[in-house]
Structure formats: C-alpha cells, structure tokens
Amino acid sequence: MKIQRLVFPDKHRCEVEDAELEERLGPGEVLVRVRASLVSAGTELAMFNREHRGFDEPDFAYAKYPFRPGYAATGEIVSGAGDLKPGTRVLLGCNHATFTKAKADHVRILPDDLPDEHAPFQKLLAIAMTSPRLAPAKLGEQVVVIGMGVVGNLCAQLYGLSGAGAVAGADLSEARLRKAADCGVPLQFHVAHRPLTEWVKDLGKRGAELVVEATGSPRAINDALKAVADRGIVVLLGSPRGKMELDPYFDIHRKGCAVIGAHGRNVDKLTQLRDEPLLLDWIRTERIKVAPLITHRMPMAEGLRAFEGLRDKPDEFLGVILTY
C-alpha cells in the first residue's frame, strides 16, 4: 500500500515522502492508521538542525541523513488479532507517517476518555521520567529544572508529584514560564535578565539541592553546575548538543556534587514497561497536565512549518501535534 511520511533529506529540510508499505503482516504484527503524532522539539529538532551529536562520527549510525522523524503517535488498528481489533485506538512509537506496522506487544490500547492529541505525550513523559527514576528527590528536597520545553515542563511536574519541596522551572522565555505556571509548576525563574545562581538564593540556605538540565545546551549545563548546592545532584536530562569546558575543581570536586547522565537507556526495560500505564493514567486524569503544552495543530504535510516554528519562534511553538 502507498503511504506518506516525513523525511529530513538534509539540514533544515523536511519533505513529505511517498513510500510503499507491505500490507501482509508478519507474526505478531498489526497494521495501524496514524491519527495524531507529537513532534519532539528535542531529538527531532536537533536532527533537523544538524545539532545532534554524532553526525561526524562514522561509527554512530543514528545521526545521519536521510532521517525519518517521529516516535510518539496515536493510531487506529486497521488489521490485527485478539484484543487489537480494527478500530481500536492505540498508543505507539512510530515515524510521522500515514500508516505503519508495529509489533502487537509494542502498542498500548487507549482508554476512551483519553484524547488522540494527549496520548502521544506519554512518550515524552517517559523521557522526563528518566530523571526522577535515576535521581529521585528526597522528601522536601528543592528542585530546579532548566528548560521549560515539553520534556523539562513534564519533568518539573513529575518532581512535584514525587514529594519534592520547592520545584522551580528556569527558562530564557517568559512565554514558556507562563506555560509552566499553567501546568502547575510552582516557581518560575526567568533567567534572561537574572542569572540562575542569583535565582537559587530565593530558595533559602538549602539552595537548589537537585538541578535538572533539560535543554542540552552546554552553557546551561555550566549554569546547572554553578547553581547546584554543595553535595547536590546535577542531572543531564537533555542530550548535550556540543562539547564544553568546565571548572571541575570549583564546580564539582570542591562542591562535592554528583553528575548523572539521564539517557533513557539507563532505565531498565522492566521499569519502563511498568511506568507506561501509570504515566498514561496520570495524563488521562490530569495529574500531569499536557493540554496547556499544545500550541499548534497542523497537517503532517506542513511538517516543515512545524520544525521551522520550533527553531525560529520558541516563544510561540511548544507542543506541535501533526494531524492525519
């Protein structure tokens, strides 16, 4: 069957590509018609901008063009078996494409009261969950999350549910901080005019005991190391987008702080599987708020506009849903 999907043929290019999909299903496979997908302003935008690490590493196969983006979607079963009957709505990880095939045990049936455009946030919420899984906040511990993009915002919300004390979101964008407030993040640190090292003084003598860096910016990583309290923890949740210089004596060794890399591969698969229904239920019941994060809905054919908007207008573009 003929399908369409998005592809990055080169830097700053996004096109709709025609392709063939074999309709015949293999063992344990289902055919899915995609209904909505969520653009990742982290990994996918980094690939669009050619900022992802590894493009110049010949042995790193992931960061290469052509690249087909997408990993968070709501779909409808076209053909399957068992409980996965035609018409059943499912959450799945797939490219931005009109149709796809998936392993039956890699999709999750969605409850009727969970909207198509909300369900894909579970995939990004699972990424955000990596930080509290690898660096859980102690009861009452003070947390700062740098970067109020979708993943950073969701991460701050998770720490608010986990028993942390003060939870603050930090960002250069006042618009993104307003979104964080709409989602229930208690404190907002606008670092465009006041540095983070000054903002954390508002937390009192204990300061920022756990700082999560959710942008991948080398400058923000340095800010996190300088702002964290003595014997605190810095979590690198955003994939770093470049090399950097740091002062290991003053910012790590003398302070006695720990640095944790929170790539998703460092959370065991069993824990991730157990988290899936919990995270979906938190979205469904609005314990985790995702509706305020949706700023745009547009047809998949307008994918280039979505990525250009995320690149050029970060105050306006945050959560972009592609429709089919």
pLDDT in tens, 97-116: 999 999 999 999 999 999 99
Give per-residue pLDDT as tens, 172-213: 999 999 999 999 999 999 999 999 999 999 999 999 999 999
Upper half-sphere CA count for residue 264 (Cβ side, 13 Å): 14
Give the separation between CA 6 and CA 312, rounded to whole angstroms: 20
Could you tell me the two tokens for 41?
């302003």
For the cut 80, the answer to whether the pLDDT of residue 81 exceeds it is no
Which pLDDT score, from 0 to 100, does residue 83 have?
Answer: 83
Interior angle at CA 174, CA 129 and CA 164, nearest 5:
35
pLDDT tens-digit series, residues 106-144: 999 999 999 999 999 999 999 999 999 999 999 999 999
Listed in sequence order, the residues at least 6 apart from 320 whose beta carbon sits closer than 8 Å to its beta carbon are 38, 39, 41, 294, 295, 296, 297, 298, 306, 309, 310
Sheet containing 208-213: order of strands: 187-190, 167-171, 143-146, 208-213, 228-236, 258-261
Q: Is the pLDDT of residue 261 over 80?
A: yes
Please, what are the domains in the chain? 2-118+290-323 (3.90.180.10), 127-266 (3.40.50.720)
Question: In the numeric block, which tokens belong to residue 309?
Answer: 């908007």
228 phi and psi angles, rounded to 5 deg = -70, 145
Which residues does 12 contact at the CB level (< 8 Å), separation at least 6? 48, 49, 50, 308
**Which band of pLDDT confidence, cut at 50, 70 and 90, is reported for residue 80?**
confident
